[in-house]
Amino acid sequence: MTVIKNIAKDRILQITVVITIISLFFTRPRIEDINFHTLYSILAMLTIIQIFSYLHVLDVLAYKLTASARSTRRLTAIFTILSIISAMFLTNDITVLTLIPLYLTIARRHHLPEILPVTLIGMGANIGAAFTPWGNPHNIFVVNRYNVSPIKFFSWSIPLLLVSLIIVLVFIFFVKDKPIPTVPLEDIRISIRPMLLTIAVSIFFFFGVFNIVPAYVPAIVAVILALIINPSIMLHVDYALLLTFTCFFIFISDIQQIPFIVTLISKTMFSEHSVFLTSIISSQFISNVPSTILIGKFTNFAEALFLGSNIGGFGSIVGSMANMLVFKSFVENGTVSKRKFFWVFSVLEFAGLIILTILGWIVLDLSLIHI
């Protein structure tokens, strides 16, 4: 029942179901428009994430690293860098849901700054998630939709990662640097054998994302591993996200068959730069996952869509699901002004968005020159 309640109360899924039902009044979806490869890959990814969460891998890393922190700035840098690395493998959502409450617990205990460090942890999660095909769910869609090779994908994501790292490192220097007492280690133990098996399945999942093996095979293996370790793991999988993707595919299949809408959307997709900007702007209002799926059905400019969707995760609080989870975590665990946090978060996010938009525009210009 808990699983059903969690699915039913997911706001994004609720909205998606409504617009999908409306679209069904106009036409019927085509089975070939449902991207099962993406759905299998997302199921595998969500299951692997929950296994790592159950094994407390990220918690142990966070406590071990923060035990060496001697100042507020160093502690912020540790959490931000850990957020970037974690999001590369565990997605930005699970990263912020784990690290932000953990940081705020330490901050309350030692009266540390909250607003800027939490903002940087959230930005770090978006940065790391953009680097890998599975860090953001929509990256899986882009890889599959355009048959992107690993070499090509990382040639897109590395420049974005490097510039983003420079931005957050500059922001870290705005954290007031003052000494803090040693953060005590928590007694959390990791089971080595399940962790090694999960890492092996994660590598197998990589092969599924890039079509080296059928995507449903890693999904089945991940589910079996979760059931072997502890069947309750499957109760925590984000089925709402899986259903949201399914509804998006149905909705987009429907609107693809309505000539007026096809013409209207196609008019905004006439070049790489227009796709890039459309993706960024639409992400600010509907979030980058639905934006990517919608735009991806109307364009063949894969690099522009990749850059636009990941850069579009910065900016507004709805730019990415991770942004909304950052704000929710701060509201639930923070002790200072929520309004002030919202404004600081928004200013830094939009500053990052502007800088990265300029970078993306230049990258696309250089790509066109090479063509």
Q: What is the pLDDT of residue 212?
A: 86
- Overall average pLDDT of the 321-347 stretch: 88
What's the whole-model pTM score?
0.82
> Considering only CA atoms, which of 125, 137, 163 is closest in space to residue 327?
125
User: Is the separation of the CB atoms in 298 and 263 below 8 Å?
Assistant: no
User: Is the separation of the CB atoms in 246 and 277 below 8 Å?
Assistant: no
Residue 134 has what DSSP assignment?
A: T
| Sign (positive or negative) of CA dihedral 361, 286, 115, 241 | negative
Q: What is the pLDDT of residue 13?
A: 80
Residues 242-298 pLDDT 10s: 888 888 888 888 887 888 777 877 777 888 999 999 999 989 987 888 889 888 888
| CB neighbour class for 366 (10 Å; exposed up to 12, middle 13-18, buried from 19) | exposed
Report residue 287: phi and psi, to 5°. Answer: 80, 155
| CB neighbour class for 111 (10 Å; exposed up to 12, middle 13-18, buried from 19) | exposed
Confidence category of residue 57, pLDDT binned at 50, 70, 90: confident
| Sign (positive or negative) of CA dihedral 264, 243, 327, 172 | negative
Q: Where are the alpha helices (DSSP H) in 267-320?
A: 272-286, 288-296, 302-311
Q: How far is CA 293 from CA 33, 143, 225, 316, in A?
A: 11, 12, 30, 19
Q: State what percent of residues in the chain have pLDDT above 70.
A: 96
- Using alpha carbons only, how large is the chain's radius of gyration in Å? 20
Residue 235 has what DSSP assignment?
A: G
In terms of phi and psi (left: phi > 0; alpha: psi -120 to 50; beta: otherwise), the region of 271 is: beta
The torsion defined by the Cα of 172, 174, 179 and 184, in degrees rounded to 10, comes to: -40
Q: Bridge-partner residues for 71, per DSSP? A: 179
Place of tokens 């280690």: 185
Q: Which two tokens stand for residue 268?
A: 């905004």
Residues 147-179 pLDDT 10s: 999 999 999 999 999 999 999 999 999 888 888
Q: What is the pLDDT of residue 185?
A: 57
Residue 233 has what DSSP assignment?
A: G
Residue 71 has what DSSP assignment?
A: B
